[in-house]
Amino acid sequence: MVVLVLVLMLATTMCHHVWSSNISGQCIESERQALLTFKNGLVDKGNKLSSWTNTRPDCCDWNGIRCDNLTHHIIELSLSYLNGEIGSSLVELKQLRHLDLSGSYDGHLEAHNLKWLSSLPFLKDVGLGDIDLSKATDWFQSIKTAHSLTSLYLESCQLPQVDMLSLSNKNSSNSLTYLSLIFNTIHPTTFPWMLNLSTNLVELGIFDTYNIRGPLPNSFENMRNLEKIYFNENGFEGGIPKSLGNLCTLKELSLCGNNFNTTTLHDILELLCTKDSLQVLDLRSNQLSGSIPTLSNMPYLREFDVSGNSLSGVISEVHFQNLSKLEVLGLSSNSLALKFKSNWVPPFQLTSIHLSFCKLGPKFPSWLKTQVKIRDIRLSHNEINDTIPIWFNNFISKMEYVDLSHNQFHGSFSLYNVTSIMSYVDLSYNQFHGSFSLYDVAFPIYQLDLSSNQFSGSISLYNFTSEMRNLNLSFNQFSGPIPSSLSSHEMYLQNNKLTSLTSFMCKPFLVSSPHKIYVLDLSNNMLSGSLPECFGNFSNLAFLNLGNNNLSGLIPKSMGSLQEIRVLQLRHNNFSGNLPSLQKCEQLQVFDVGDNSLEGKIPLWIGQNLKNLIFLSLKSNKFNNCMPSNLCNLHAIEMLDLSTNSIFGNIPPCLEKFTSMVEKRDHHQLQTGSSKFRVDVPVDENGLRPMELESLVIMWKGVYYENQKIFESLRLIDLSSNQLSGEIPETLTHLVQLNQLNLSWNNLDGGIPKEIGKLSNLQSLDLSNNNLSGQIPSSLATISFLSFLKLSNNNLFGKIPTGTQLQSFEASSYTGNLGLCGPPLTNSSCSNGTNNGSINVVEDGDKWLDMKQFHMGIGVGFIVGFVGVCVNIFLLTSWRPVYFRFLNAMGDWLYVRISIKMAKFKRMFSSNT
């Protein structure tokens, strides 16, 4: 009893000491100083550390800090989006339980080591996502020795390769239950160690690690508690290891985006010992083959997705017996035929169903009528030839994601009474017809795609107040004016029969709240008349295409206020007058006003202000001045088309400053997934998105093309059909990345540049119909990619250089040059320096005599000879009788010879008759 009293007294004294030492309620001073030291290594762009000052002594009140209510030790530090470096001062936070520093501006928060993790004995949860750990080579060993850790999240941390010699099976963490290393580069030799990091792991996520190749390690023997595995997008190959079958607590298995091509779905299901308890099975995109066995022995299955494999066979209601808990079903992109009885009532209620690229048609599946909880349905490419049932039309307004594209749905369709947010509705590439209406739509529809159907009539909107981000009504037959209430961040209305946009463009708006339209495509409609001066309402506009309409008059001056514009296409209309000033449109990358009736000078502001231009087309207008030398400031230009105007003067030698035609494009600059011409365009306030341009027109190898796949990598200059004169600048041969050069139908003279062979990437060269002279440079024969050549109708002469390329073109490429000889011309031999035996060509070294000089020499010689004879007769009187007797004798001789020939001719003619 006495001992008990003493113990109680001692405990009371200790508690009193702790309480009295923190009677003020402030945090521990050493921990406060540690936080201030930690702050010194950070850059606080978001002003999140404004409360971390000496004027606020209690650090428990600082932003991101939580303290224990009794001891006032810091137990939680939670901040995000910081820059700078995580220092070792955090080791002073001895009672820290939770640490979350995930997220950083531009990935500029870094830590050079993680050794301090093992010095925090009570630390349980750590989140360091998006922090740069590329220099923390001790990261794995630090995890192994942090014995108190239960949850660790290191997403997108640029983890470095582990030194395998420093690893051991000792001191492994026995407490870690949740580990996420997604979006890192895990070395294949490190991966097996991950599987033995902790025997208590419950959830393990290692996916999108990019460079793991080879089989999935057979190292699951000691992971008896594992319930969730996420090994997506790792590049695993071959089969599934047998030790995976020992995980009898497994509830969720996700292996999508690998290459388990040596096994079948049947083998995987047979291997698992948790078929009766498995809840999630995600095996998308693994090249699995074979058929899908019945799933009736997996009663707790909630998600089943095998989309994107090579599975085949017939799916019937037998496969889904006993699956009363199934919510997600994914069978897309397989060779599967779904055949269910017309009266089948599934045992489940799906929320998500993906059956695209399966054989589901021709009738719309009636069993879907029972699935009243569906929020995500994808039935594209299903060979359905039917109308949309009324009951399903009522379902659509409650769904979040609907994809019925690329079928043969017909009949009418309208969207009404939308009662929830709709992320995506795609009914494109069907045969819907008649009118289309949007009414009673108050919730956002982020993306609505009705393109490539046969909708007609006006676009009808009733009680439509929805926020829309992407609206695609292109390639239909909509007519009439554009509704003034229609608005979306992206509006694709091209290839319809729309006639007016005045009410749409000029509707009243608040200066503080202009139209949030970033992309507007109205090309290939029936718009006519002049454009209204209302572009001031569209300050966010970054993409505008009004090409291929019947618009006329002047281009509005207000278009010059579009300071965010990247793409401006006005081609193939009837615009006239001068170009308005667009000098404030400095973001412009694509500017196409070709095929109009614009006139005047090419504005100087193009070269002075539009220095981001990639594509510039002024073709087929009436511009009538010289080519401004400041166009050479367009260093980024890749396609320049000034053809078919009245531009005169010389070609500026400074075109060699077109940097993009000189330097080879870096690999990372090329857009992946498509080879069409693309431009980064803002489509909302959050950033840029690469956008394919569908209506760029260029002449390529003598034929007009509209945005073919070759466009992305092309660099071309087209100055054809103008009145340019002078010589071709030798500096053009510096544009070594140039693919096409067209200078035809001008008045250029002089020779073809000697060093033209430097244009090693040239595929198309047209210099025809000029006044070029001299020999074809031998270097032209060295351009191995050249596949289109026209040098016809010039004054070239001499032998066509011998090479692989030049003899492969047709003779028409060289015709109209009287002095040329050699294959492929019919006068293929060039003997004695002549081309056909009638014209002598003098050779001096590597230069042939210019034909103009040859003709001038003949004229000068005749004049000199004639004047010389006349002077001699006039000055030397003794020569006169001799000269005239010579002329009389010559005349008599000619008379006699002609008379004899005529007599013989008459006798021959009379005898024949």
Name the fold adopted by 249-386.
3.80.10
- pLDDT (0 to 100) of residue 869: 56
Q: What is the mean pLDDT of residues 317-325?
A: 94
- pLDDT (0 to 100) of residue 913: 46
For the ranges 620-624, 679-683, 802-806, the maximum mean pLDDT occurs at 620-624
- pLDDT (0 to 100) of residue 894: 64
- pLDDT (0 to 100) of residue 9: 43
Instruction: Please give the C-alpha separations between residue 699 and each of 639, 702, 765, in angstroms, as whole numbers.
Output: 11, 6, 12
Percent of the chain with pLDDT over 70: 83
What's the pLDDT tens digit per position in 276-301?
A: 899 999 999 999 999 999 999 999 99
Q: Is the pLDDT of residue 14 over 80?
A: no
- Which carries the bigger pLDDT value, residue 107 or residue 830? 830
- pLDDT (0 to 100) of residue 186: 82
Q: What is the mean pLDDT of residues 807-815?
A: 91
Whole-angstrom Cα distance, residue 416 to residue 851? 79
- Which carries the bigger pLDDT value, residue 629 or residue 692? 629
Whole-angstrom Cα distance, residue 707 to residue 603? 27
Name the pLDDT band for 526 (thresholds 50, 70, 90): very high
Query: The whole model's pTM is what?
Result: 0.80
- pLDDT (0 to 100) of residue 393: 87
- Which carries the bigger pLDDT value, residue 7 or residue 359? 359
Spell out the residues 6+ positions from residue 657 whose beta carbon is closer than 8 angstroms to its own.
Answer: 632, 633, 635
Q: Is 390 helix (H, G, I), strand (E, B) or coil?
A: helix
Structure tokens that stand for 459 in this block: 């676009």
- Which carries the bigger pLDDT value, residue 397 or residue 210? 397
Q: What is the mean pLDDT of residues 646-663?
A: 94
- pLDDT (0 to 100) of residue 885: 52
Find the range with the poorest average confidence among 220-224, 410-414, 511-515, 817-821. Answer: 511-515
Structure tokens that stand for 435 in this block: 């009118």
Q: Is the pLDDT of residue 485 over 60?
A: yes
Q: Is the pLDDT of residue 876 over 60?
A: no
Q: What is the mean pLDDT of residues 447-474?
A: 89
Q: How many residues does the chain have?
A: 913
- pLDDT (0 to 100) of residue 398: 86
How many other CB atoms are found less than 10 A from the CB of residue 510? 6
- Are the C-beta atoms of residues 752 and 776 closer than 8 Å to each other? yes
Average pLDDT, the chain: 85
Q: Is the pLDDT of residue 117 over 60?
A: yes
- Are the C-beta atoms of residues 488 and 521 closer than 8 Å to each other? no
Alpha carbon 492 to chain centroid, angstroms: 18
Domain ranges of the chain: 249-386, 404-500, 857-883
What's the pLDDT tens digit per position in 331-377?
A: 999 999 999 998 999 999 999 999 999 999 899 999 999 999 999 99
Q: What is the mean pLDDT of residues 693-709?
A: 77
- pLDDT (0 to 100) of residue 851: 45
What's the pLDDT tens digit per position in 382-401?
A: 999 999 999 998 888 889 99
- pLDDT (0 to 100) of residue 848: 35
What's the pLDDT tens digit per position in 586-611?
A: 999 999 999 999 999 999 999 999 99
- pLDDT (0 to 100) of residue 905: 52
- pLDDT (0 to 100) of residue 3: 40
